[in-house]
Structure 1
Amino acid sequence: MEDVNNHIESKRTVFVTVGTTSFDSLVRTVDSDQVKEALLEKGYTHLVIQMGRGSYIPKKSSGEDGSLVVDYFTFSSSIADYLRSASLVISHAGSGSIFETLRIAKPLIVVVNEDLMDNHQSELAEELAERKHLFCARPQTLCQVIESLNLDTIVPYEPGDANPVAKLINKHLGFPAD
């Protein structure tokens, strides 16, 4: 790969993950010309989509015409390498994907799947966005979130103190606050 791209330091990859779920509306949105153009304008060069069980197949692109290089796959035994090499992560709202990305301090846009019933994941994503650890979007607002993206506003997530998350979970489950 380095032979193909002599300017490897200029490679800026956006990694999209839906985990083990099906989240076609997210995959379809990141595959749209509008979102790909917004990513290009922000200086990103590559888009790698982990599409899970989804049925929507994104369009691959070699990027020869100045567009994003686009690739996709369904599953991987570990997405850790993809996360580490990413300049930006766009993820479903699964807590595992969120915290794995925050732990390695990668900029993160969490896209909430509004098709899920009793969507507790959106509460976690919105709480972490309020604390400025990540950005939160819906499929229909993702392009606007990318266009207004300011990575300088991110507050690094400090793992270790689980109390705020535990309180949020307890509140959601109806347990009294401490």
Structure 2
Amino acid sequence: MGEGGENGRAKKTVFVTVGTTCFDALVKAVDSGEVKEVLFRKGYTDLLIQMGRGSYFPSKISGDDGSLSVDHFTFSPSIADYMKSASLIISHAGSGSIFESLRVGKPLIVVVNEDLMDNHQSELAEELAERKHLFCARPQTLHQTIETMDLESLLPYPPGDAMPVVKLINEFLGFPSE
């Protein structure tokens, strides 16, 4: 079951990562009352936000009163450990973060940054969502995605097979498929 918290709930951490970017819209979304409330209702106990270069500082809440515990940091030499111990990962649409999350086999919600021009990242996230490897959201729809997500519906990403990824990247770059 994992270790129980003071409120008798098993510890279930949501790890949020924006990588090396600035994605204040995502950090603000996960720091919103509605997202924190729906995460808590879904049984999550801790929210850890890696906020990168962002200028918006989310709240820090101890969770001692039986609510969701919230903490944040800017950078860490390796976020792999945070990913491995998370019950759910919410990530920006960077391919490195996406594939690292899929590699550790964690349920993943990718939040697309609509402020980026020429957004190939969203195409990759949407393609992987269509294949049921992850959920895809926008900052303003994140709480609905969490509310309606069915973790049982996700399919594991086949780790050894890079061909689907190579094919996807080639399609994005406009190369003909074999």
Same-fold call, TM > 0.5?
yes
2:109 alignment counterpart: 109
Structure 1 residues 46-65: aligned runs within 5 Å: 46-65=46-65
The yes-or-no answer on 1:84 pairing with 2:84 is yes
TM-score in terms of structure 1 length: 0.94
Displacement of 1:85: 0.8
Structure 2: tracts of 5 or more residues without a match:
none
Please identify, of 6-15 and 80-89, the stretch whose mean Cα deviation from structure 2 is larger.
Answer: 6-15
Q: Contact (CA 8 Å) 2:7, 2:66: kept in 1 or not?
A: no
Please identify, of 76-85 and 160-169, the stretch whose mean Cα deviation from structure 2 is larger.
Answer: 160-169
What CA deviation, in whole Å up to 9, does each residue of 1:64-110 have, x standing for no partner?
A: 22220000000000001100110000000111111111011000000
Please identify, of 19-28 and 57-66, the stretch whose mean Cα deviation from structure 2 is larger.
Answer: 57-66
Displacement of 1:117: 1.0
Match of 1:10, SS? coil
Q: Contact (CA 8 Å) 2:22, 2:53: kept in 1 or not?
A: yes
Match of 2:71, SS? strand
- The aligned amino acid for 1:46 is D
Rounded to whole Å, the distance in 1 between the matches of 2:101 and 2:48 is 15
Rounded to whole Å, the distance in 2 between the matches of 1:4 and 1:86 is 15
1:42 alignment counterpart: 42
- The aligned amino acid for 2:120 is H
Match of 2:114, SS? coil
Match of 2:65, SS? coil
Structure 1 residues 142-153: aligned runs within 5 Å: 142-153=142-153
Displacement of 1:143: 0.4
Displacement of 1:9: 7.7
Rounded to whole Å, the distance in 1 between the matches of 2:30 and 2:12 is 16
Q: Contact (CA 8 Å) 2:6, 2:66: kept in 1 or not?
A: no
Rounded to whole Å, the distance in 1 between the matches of 2:154 and 2:8 is 26
- The aligned amino acid for 2:137 is A
- Mark the CA change 1:4 to 1:143 in structure 2 (over 3 Å): closer, same or farther: closer
The yes-or-no answer on 1:74 pairing with 2:71 is no
TM-score in terms of structure 2 length: 0.94
Rounded to whole Å, the distance in 2 between the matches of 1:173 and 1:79 is 29
Rounded to whole Å, the distance in 1 between the matches of 2:20 and 2:159 is 24
**Aligned residue pairs: how many?**
177
Rounded to whole Å, the distance in 1 between the matches of 2:117 and 2:86 is 30
Rounded to whole Å, the distance in 1 between the matches of 2:5 and 2:163 is 45
Match of 1:177, SS? coil
Rounded to whole Å, the distance in 2 between the matches of 1:62 and 1:144 is 25
Match of 1:71, SS? strand
- The aligned amino acid for 1:107 is P
Displacement of 1:174: 1.3
- The aligned amino acid for 2:160 is G
